[in-house]
Structure 1
Amino acid sequence: MKYFYYLLFALLLCGCQETKKEKISRLVNEWENKEILFPKNSFFTIFAKDTIAFDTVDCDYKVFTYIDSTGCTSCKLQLLKWKGVIAKFDSLTHNNTAFLFYFHPKSAKEIAYILKRDNFNYPVCIDDADSINKLNQFSDEMMFQTFLLDKENKVLAIGNPVHNPKIEKLYLKLAMGESYTDKPILSQTKISVDKEMINLGTFDWQKKQQVAFTIRNEGDQLLVINGVTTSCGCVSTEYNHEPVQKGKNLKIQVSYKADHAEHFDKTITIYCNVPSSPVKLRIKGDARK
């Protein structure tokens, strides 16, 4: 399927080691056109509390995502970004795309808190028994735990649209019935970054922290930011979306708000028209009581 080649190209842009690229290629081929199996008794709730009827039979496409119990749950969920993706799909595909969220949490209480905190009132399935993973044996790679499915639950594409704007573009094009190509449209330019990592030091975990990275367009072409993603929902960004002229600077404002006291090391990923894209920046520090 030609879309899987575009998908593979988008995923390989992450600049990983050769062994990692080989693994990505193998997983893409493994899931191509595979049917996702769903448990017969899946209960969907709002805010992990109120059970509701949830039927996707009228939708031609489904975006399915599975969240396992490993690592930082809030980082994986990125619910505020999912709300934006859902709104965009509802508008552009005329409610013809359903979103299926299956969570296998290490703490049901934590999931309920995050859903309420982010006011995520979309139906989700709290799969305590990890039934859907037992049926399908998903990869432990987070980027291979989200899929675009057709009406028969066959996999059309793989990848997480909230972590990669190229994946979001691919999903949206397919759900709109349009052809997809990933041919470069913009000329490449060069950039410099004032710092690749900022250490916020030690601070009260209840106080929001704000820093800024400065990116300078060192090339002869316009610098265009296609998207900025973060590794955790506790990190948000703001920036001017206008193209950056030659010799001019762009500030990426980064905010961090801890959910609890922790040592953190978070990544900000910038997709833009430079050969090294995506560009990865980091913030770290100690949020203490």
Structure 2
Amino acid sequence: MRSLLYFIFALLLLSCKESDKHRIARLTEAWTGKTVYYPADSVFESFEADSVRKYSLKRTEYTVVTYIDSLQCASNRLRLEEWKSFLQALRPAAKGRITCLFYLHPENREQMIAKLRQSAFNFPVCIDEDNVFYKLNRFPADTLFRTFLVNSENKIVDIGNPAEDPKVRERYLQRIMDTKPDPD
């Protein structure tokens, strides 16, 4: 009798747990259409070899924006090589209609800069030591939901990390390539 009660209790616990598929669908629905807010004092730089290049940001049709916190930075979840591959594939398709922004909140700024230089990551990065970007947006704890494709009005139109998920990569590329450039 006791083992039957344990079995029923375990079954109830498992049936109450949200499946990954439902959780992803719920978070995607909740975040699609939300506005992404950027700190006014964001400074974007790229760290190539021994030089630092600063970027002035312009509004584009789309922006891929990703937030990487100190835990992801420390655990080698940056996936810089995968990001470089995605961004290089994106350049010909984007034709100036897209910006890619990286907000990094590392524990150690100098170690982060060393990682970026070592990998020759020459894309705009904001090292957000005060974590202002996160505080403005309150992203979900799930790291799958910290990379967004944002339209020119800063509204989220797609969610997911194209450096980690080939399906997300294809969705982003398809959406960007389907958009016709504005006539000059």
- Same fold by TM-score, threshold 0.5 exceeded? yes
Cα pair 2:82 2:164 within 8 Å, conserved: no
Cα pair 1:47 1:115 within 8 Å, conserved: yes
Q: Shift of the alpha carbon at 1:128? A: 0.3
- 2:34 alignment counterpart: 34
Normalised by the length of structure 2, the TM-score is: 0.81
- 1:127 alignment counterpart: 128
Cα pair 2:72 2:78 within 8 Å, conserved: no
Q: Shift of the alpha carbon at 1:147? A: 0.3
- 2:71 alignment counterpart: 70
Q: Shift of the alpha carbon at 1:158? A: 0.2
- 1:54 alignment counterpart: 56
List runs of 5+ in structure 1 lacking aligned partners: 1-16, 179-289
Structure 2 Cα separation of the partners of residues 31 and 125 of structure 1: 23
Cα pair 2:73 2:106 within 8 Å, conserved: no
Q: 1:71 to 1:35 in 2, by over 3 A?
A: closer
Structure 2 Cα separation of the partners of residues 104 and 21 of structure 1: 29
List runs of 5+ in structure 2 lacking aligned partners: 1-16, 180-184
1:124-273 matches, within 5 Å, as 124-177=125-178
Q: Which amino acid aligns with 1:78?
A: R
Q: 1:71 to 1:169 in 2, by over 3 A?
A: closer
Q: Which amino acid aligns with 2:52?
A: D
Q: 1:175 to 1:71 in 2, by over 3 A?
A: closer
Q: Shift of the alpha carbon at 1:26? A: 1.9
Structure 2 Cα separation of the partners of residues 80 and 124 of structure 1: 15
Normalised by the length of structure 1, the TM-score is: 0.52
Cα pair 2:47 2:53 within 8 Å, conserved: no
Greater share of helix: 2
Q: Shift of the alpha carbon at 1:32? A: 1.2
Q: Which has the higher contact order (CA 8 A, sep 6+)?
A: 2
Structure 2 Cα separation of the partners of residues 168 and 160 of structure 1: 7
How many equivalent pairs are there? 161
SS of residue matched to 1:30: helix
Q: 1:137 to 1:117 in 2, by over 3 A?
A: same
Query: Please, what is the CA RMSD of the aligned residues?
Result: 1.9
Q: Shift of the alpha carbon at 1:36? A: 0.3
Q: 1:51 to 1:87 in 2, by over 3 A?
A: closer
Q: Which amino acid aligns with 1:89?
A: L
Instruction: Work out the percentage of aligned pairs sharing the same amino acid.
Output: 35
Cα pair 2:149 2:157 within 8 Å, conserved: yes
- 1:87 alignment counterpart: 88
